[in-house]
Every structure is written in structure tokens, then in C-alpha cells.
Amino acid sequence: MHNGTDMTPPPGTSDAVAIELNAVLVALTANQPLVLTLEDGTLLPSGPFATEHPTLQSGVRAWVERQTHHPLGYVEQLYTFADRNRPASDGERRVVSISYLGLTRERLSAGARDPEWRSWYRYFPWEDWRAGPSPLVAQIILPRLAAWAAAAKDPGLRRERRQRIDIQFGDGVANWNEDLVLQRYELLYEAGLVAEATRTAADIVPGMPMRHDHRRILATGIARLRAKIKYRPVFFELMPPAFTLLQLQQAVEALAGRAMHKQNFRRLIDQQGLVEPTGASTSESRGRPAKLFRFRREVVQERAVSGTKLPLSRPL
């Protein structure tokens, strides 16, 4: 008999754990935020952490480059998922998913087998408010969530569900917080309104599903990036070496899913001193040529500590 705590696992349980590394790799093309996917868009680049990897980050870099023939640039760790309902392929071990966010301007190299860039709005169409409030929210999502809340027998639970809906989705017209991507997806999951949560298609809202918990991981990456661009200009990692101020605004709008006031945005960029003119202009045949700018990387290195304090403007 032991005097201390018995650490023996209960019968029928296993302490075996499999560590999986996932990458949310983002690029921007034609004003669309793209994410790199595998197997017809159903998976993010991923693979097990191997003992030969000196660090977790080196492990995720190795798996992404092996699966996609695509180099990773800027990388940061996102989150660790360790839900009990996430078994490994052998059905026995518990999976711990460690996810990473990567930003790149690179394109796919020759010889890549399967990877495909897909707009993240294919997976989360209700998150795109650049042209105004998403009609999906008011016309489809809110009525179905309201029915889900009303179905709760306990008054306290009905009230709690209603409050969560109000906070995360608003009224479908205003009070939209673009940072709550993950909370909104998890609420839809809890309500059984996404394909990953149910086998019936009657009440599923539009949006392409993913296997395992990869759409949840993607939601985490989008939320992190949307929050980050408000205080650190990581969006420059996605820009070409020279760009117009309109292209820069459209890039930030694409990531945030919100339109911005042109003059306010340019005033903020100017106040932060983040760009400088290259001396060249666009050579488009239509309209007045626009000045080209480049990113002042030395300024960003200085502001990496203090933050850029770059808030998103609201549409008029």
C-alpha cells in the first residue's frame, strides 16, 4: 500500500498521447485572405511531432515543407488543443494538437502534390463584412440560434444562450466584433449548426467543413491575426515589396473582414510612419497613376516592443 497519491490510471484508460503539429499558413491574393489546405481543402498541413525535431517550431516547419513543398516565413504558436474526443488514427491514443500561424508571400513551388490556396471566407462566409453586414447572419444564423436558445427548458440556460448570441453575433446589423471568430464558430458548433457537430444537414449554416478540428484551428488563426493587426503591422509580411496605399488598405480590410474609411486609414498609416514612397508609380493605363510605397522595416522593428497602436477604422 502506498501512502501517497495513487497515480495508476483507471481501468480502460490510457496515458498514451500523440502530439500533432498544425499550420495555419496565410497569404493574400486579389484581396482575398488565403489559407493553404490539403486533401481538397479539408485539412490544414499537419503531422506528428518527431523526436528528431529539436523544437516544436522546427517540427511544424518540417511538416509543412514536406507536405506542401512550401517554405514558412513568419511563424508564431497559436494554441494547444487537447480535447478528449480527439483520438489518434489508431483509436487509442489521445491527440494533443499544437497549432501555429504562418504568414507568407511565397507561392506554391513546382512539384507540390496536393496543396491548394483557398479563401478562408469559404469556411467562414459570415465573417466577411467588407461590403456591409453579412446577410447570412441576419437571415440564417440568428434565426437558427434563436430557435436553439428557445429550445432550452431551463430559463437560466435560455437567458445564458441569448446573452452569448447577442455578444458574439449582435443583431446582424451592428455591434459586430471581428475578433470573435473562434467564439462564434464554437457557439455554432454547440448549437449543432456546423457539419462537424452533426450528421444531419437540415440546419447547417453555409460554410465548408474540415476534418477533425481543423476548422476550429483555422478560426483560432483568423482571430489571432485580426487581433494582432490592430497593434502590430504583421500584414506587411503579406504585401509585395512595393504597393499602393489602396492595395495596403484592401489587404487590411481583407484580413479584418471590415471596410475602412479611406482618409482615416491613410492618416493612421502616416502617423505611424510605417511606409515611405519608392519614387515610382503604377503604370496602369486607366486612371491616374498611383504612387508606390514600401514598408519601413526598421520602424516596425522599433515598434515591435511598444506596438503600433493601429486601430481599425469603422465604416461610415
Tell me the average confidence (pLDDT) per consecutive run of 10 residues in the chain, 316 residues long.
42 63 88 92 81 69 68 80 55 75 69 74 97 96 97 96 96 92 96 88 90 93 93 86 93 94 88 89 76 84 52 48
Backbone angles phi, psi at 137, to 5 degrees: -65, -55
Strands 94-103, 17-29: pairing kind: parallel
Nearest to 127 by CA among 66, 184, 60, 198: 184
In sequence order, the 6+-apart residues with CB closer than 8 A to the CB of 12 are none
Cell numbers given for 147: 430557435
What is the rounded radius of gyration, in angstroms, for the C-alpha atoms of the chain? 22
pTM of structure: 0.84
Which pLDDT score is estimated for 294? 94
Pairwise CA distance, residues 77 & 57, whole Å: 8
For 162, the enclosing helix (H) or strand (E) is helix 155-169
For the domain spanning 230-306, the CATH number is 1.10.10.10
In the CATH hierarchy, which top-level class contains the domain 17-119?
Answer: alpha beta
Pairwise CA distance, residues 107 & 116, whole Å: 10
Pairwise CA distance, residues 127 & 133, whole Å: 9
Pairwise CA distance, residues 77 & 99, whole Å: 6
User: What residue segments make up the domains of the chain, in order of their start?
Assistant: 17-119, 125-207, 230-306
Q: How crowded is the C-beta side of 303, counted as CA atoms within 13 Å?
A: 19
Which pLDDT score is estimated for 278? 93
Pairwise CA distance, residues 144 & 137, whole Å: 10
Residues β-bridged to residue 300 = none
Nearest to 24 by CA among 60, 51, 55, 50: 60
Pairwise CA distance, residues 17 & 251, whole Å: 40
Backbone angles phi, psi at 305, to 5 degrees: -85, -45
